[in-house]
Structures are given as structure tokens and as C-alpha cells.
Amino acid sequence: MGTAFKETKLPAGATRGQKTLAWIDDRFPLSKLWNDQWGKYYAPKNFNIWYVFGSLAMLVLVLQIITGIFLTMHYKPDANLAFASVETSIMRDVPWGWLIRYMHSTGASAFFIIVYLHMTRGLLYGSYRKPRELIWLFGFAIFLCLMAEAFFGYLLPWGQMSYWGAQVIVNLFGAIPFIGPDLSLWIRGDYVVSDATLNRFFAFHVIALPLVLLGLVTAHLIALHEVGSSNPDGVEIKENIGADGHPVDGIPSHPYYTTKDLFGVSVFLLIFSAVVFFAPEMGGFFLEYNNFLPANSMQTPPHIAPVWYFTPFYSVLRATTSDFLWVVMAAIVLYVVFIWLRSRLSFKAKVAITVIAVLIEIGMLPQVLEAKFWGVVLFGSSVLILAALPWLDHSPVKSIRYRPSWHKYVYVVFALAFLTLGYLGTQAPTPTYTLVAQVATLMYFAFFLLMPWWSTMGTFKPVPNRVTFHPH
């Protein structure tokens, strides 16, 4: 039998708003959801500026959805009409259409800037460590979904760079043995990038991926609030509970972090508005100049490159030449030897790694698989390796505050390698740039693959039992 319905009893002087809220709460746990997820959610009291980017990411997600809805009202997903619907209809004929379009295009870049900074905070403070592995995996899935969403949306303006960028990326799947050509054909919906490609990319960008993205964000937040937020000290505040049943070093998110987030939102909107009104193209990084030309399948742009937020991984792809594969093969041999000498893995695990390495070495021979395929493999691996961070970092402490000082230089070198790859991906390839990209690629992968060892080396500082907080 079901539970009897119980109506909330209100005092005699209850306002109409209180009565309405009570009526809703009796039928839907609105107040409970608010309190559990934010109002009475206790977060560590020592958050710093790095912790504002999660809220900013939510803001930009909402901004992108709202502006996207208005854009779809006037956009034509037709190869003959798409470019004009954006550059003529939306930009010139629709009142304030130019503002909506620039908010959406600038918002895409702002989204990735915020997400990269959010991931950097996780890297610095070990936010992916136990018990937050699942939070990190949900966040990584959000990152993948954002990359797919941005890629599908990039084709929609149907400009020169949109068309040829999609052509290059989709053709990469053709390098996969056996299924590559059929997979490329399935993604395009035609033998070339055409109206069929535009329609299916539009469907993915507007309907399918936003639904997946919203689901992943919800799972990310639920997992976060289940285990609790990390903090700059890497101390688990739930291990020190006060008499009131709440963490001693925790404070309610509302109003304390609501006000701080509002300040962060104000600063962000000031910068965001300045970009939208004064530099929406950002020198060709946010909106490439070639994309203001209609797509022409008969004229290839002199330099095809993806948007800046893809370029670090695109550089890895472009750096993978047949000559570079010999260097990669040598690096794999050294890594396997290193595992045998320094790893505490079981004998069976070491044998399995060795067998896999031998198979990879055979596959990298010029007579077996071409460099283009391995470029796609390294391109995908450079993204997927981020998901393995919780199991690669064996440091006895979480936060960089209590790690050896030289660990900071390791992170700096990694950041420089990532930024270098990002810059080189925007430039036309030259022998010098290719060589620098290859060195940066090795440094990028070395950061992760050697992390099980370097993360445990050095003298670690003692971690306090409670968070360090200095009010101001």
C-alpha cells in the first residue's frame, strides 16, 4: 500500500510565496533538491579562485543552449542555403542576430578555455584521486562530448574552413584498417562532404549531443555531491564532523559561495562582453577569416587547421610522420625496459605489456601500417590518456602544495608542451615546426606514462589534519 499524502503545515501568517513553495514541495522535492545540491551543501571553506570555473562552465552551457535555440530559428540546414542563412539572414537581417551569433561562437571558445582551466585545477590539486575517480571520468566524458559537439557545430556555417576541416577530420577515420572507408562513408552520409553530411551534423549538434551533455553534467554533479568537493589542501573534510553533523571545515555553499561565484560571473561577463563587442574573431582564432567565404569544394584553402581548442591534439596527429615512428618505436622499447626494471607490476602484467608493445612495434613497420594510421592512434591516445589520470598518479599526497617543489616544474614543462602543440597546430607545417611538435609530443606522453614513478619521487611535506584557511 502507498504512503498516505501529508500536507505541510504552515504558520497562520505564511505568505503566498511560502504557500506556493509548500504546495510544490508536497508534490515534488524542490526544496530538498536545492538544499542537497547547493543551498545546504557543505563545501570546504578554503576554496580559491581555481574553484570558480565549475560554476562558470554551467553558466556558459546555459548560454550556449539559449543562443543555440535562437540561432536554429533562422538557420537553414541546407548546403545551398546554410552560408547565406548565417552571414546574411542571421548577421544582417534578424534584429540582434549578429549579437546572438557572436555570443554563440565566442561562447564555444570560452567554454573550452573554462573547461581547460577547470581540468588544470583538478590536475594541480589531485581532484581525480580516490574517492573522486568517477567524478573525473564523468568530467572526461563531458570533455569528449564537448569536442564532438564543437566539431559537428563547426561545419554548420558552411564556410571554407568548416567544409575543408570536416573533410580532413572525417577522412582520418579512413585510415582505420578494414572498417575505415565504410566508417568515413557512414559519418559523411555521402562519398564527399555534402548536404547529407550537413543534415546529420545538424541533428547531432542540436539534438543528440546536447541531451547526452546534459545527462553527463547531471551525473558529474550528483557524483561530486555524493563524495564531496576536493580542496587545495587535499584534506577530506568529511572525516572531521562537528556536533551539528556537518564538517567542521565546511560551510554552506549558499550564501557563501553563491556570492563568490556571482563575483566570478561578473568578471567573466565583463571579459566575455568585451570580446563579443570588440573582437569576436579574436584575430582569426575564434572565427577564422576563411570561414567568411562560402564553402567551395573546388578550391582548397592554403592552410587547413581546426579551431584553436583542437590544435594541441591535431599537432600530435600532424607530427606523426614515418620518420617519427622510428623514434616512437625506440621510446616504446625503452619504456618496456623501464617497466621491467622499475615497476612493481606482477610478472604476468609485465609479460602482457611486452607482448602488446611487440605487436605495436610490428604494426609500426612501414610495410605493415602507414604513418597516417598511427597518427590517428596517437591523436586519439593524446585525448584518452587523460581518463587514466586517477590510476597513473601514485603520489602519497593529492595537492601540489605538499609535493616536492620540483614537481611544479614538471607541471610547467607539461603545460609548455601542451601550449606549444596548440600554437603549432594553428600554423602552416614546416620542417622546423614539425620537429618541435614531435619533441612536444614526446614530452606530453612522457608526463603521463612516467607519472607512476615521478609522482612518488622526492620529499613530500606533511599534510595537515584540517584545511588551512586564512580569512580576509
The CATH number that applies at residue 133 is 1.20.810.10
Of 259, 288, 317, the residue at which a domain comes to its end is 288
Residue 394's domain spans which residues? Answer: 302-458
- Tell whether 240 and 366 lie within a shared domain: no
- Tell whether 192 and 328 lie within a shared domain: no
Does 325 score more than 90 pLDDT? yes
Q: Could you tell me the CA-to-CA distances from 54 to 39, 230, 265, 450 in Å, in that order?
A: 16, 12, 11, 29
Confidence band for 27, pLDDT divided at 50, 70 and 90: confident
- Tell whether 136 and 275 lie within a shared domain: yes
Residue 228 domain-assigned?
yes
Does 205 score more than 60 pLDDT? yes
Give residue 192's pLDDT: 87
Is residue 285 within 8 Å of residue 126, measured between CB atoms? no
- Tell whether 453 and 309 lie within a shared domain: yes
Give residue 472's pLDDT: 55
- pLDDT tens digits, one per residue of 353-408: 999 999 999 999 888 888 888 999 999 999 999 999 999 999 999 999 999 999 99
- Tell whether 133 and 211 lie within a shared domain: yes
- Tell whether 348 and 392 lie within a shared domain: yes
Give residue 471's pLDDT: 66
Residue 364 domain-assigned?
yes
Residue 463 domain-assigned?
no
Say if residue 472 carries a ligand binding annotation.
no
- Tell whether 320 and 253 lie within a shared domain: no
Does 37 score more than 90 pLDDT? no
- Cα 137-465-35 angle, rounded to 5 deg: 55
Looking at per-residue confidence, does 137 or 37 come out higher?
Answer: 137
- pLDDT tens digits, one per residue of 98-125: 999 999 999 999 999 999 999 999 999 9
Residue 3 domain-assigned?
no
Of 288, 314, 331, the residue at which a domain comes to its end is 288
Q: What is the mean pLDDT of residues 291-297?
A: 91
Does 83 score more than 70 pLDDT? yes
- Tell whether 254 and 352 lie within a shared domain: no
Residue 25 domain-assigned?
no
Residue 267 domain-assigned?
yes
- pLDDT tens digits, one per residue of 300-319: 888 888 899 999 999 999 99
- Tell whether 174 and 237 lie within a shared domain: yes
Q: How far apart are CA 42 and CA 245, in angstroms?
A: 11
Confidence band for 3, pLDDT divided at 50, 70 and 90: low
Does 63 score more than 80 pLDDT? yes
- Tell whether 370 and 238 lie within a shared domain: no
- pLDDT tens digits, one per residue of 152-202: 999 999 999 999 989 888 888 887 888 888 888 988 888 889 999 999 999
Give residue 12's pLDDT: 79
Residue 314 domain-assigned?
yes
Give residue 280's pLDDT: 95
Q: How far apart are CA 339 and CA 35, in angstroms?
A: 49
- Tell whether 235 and 326 lie within a shared domain: no
Of 288, 320, 345, the residue at which a domain comes to its end is 288
Say if residue 220 carries a ligand binding annotation.
yes
Q: What is the mean pLDDT of residues 18-46?
A: 88
- Tell whether 225 and 307 lie within a shared domain: no
Tell me which residue of 245, 236, 256 sits closest to 466, measured CA to CA.
236
Residue 229 domain-assigned?
yes
Number of domains in the chain: 2
Q: What is the mean pLDDT of residues 273-296?
A: 93
Say if residue 118 carries a ligand binding annotation.
yes
- pLDDT tens digits, one per residue of 267-276: 999 999 999 9
What's the mean per-residue pLDDT of the chain?
92
Q: What is the mean pLDDT of residues 119-142?
A: 95
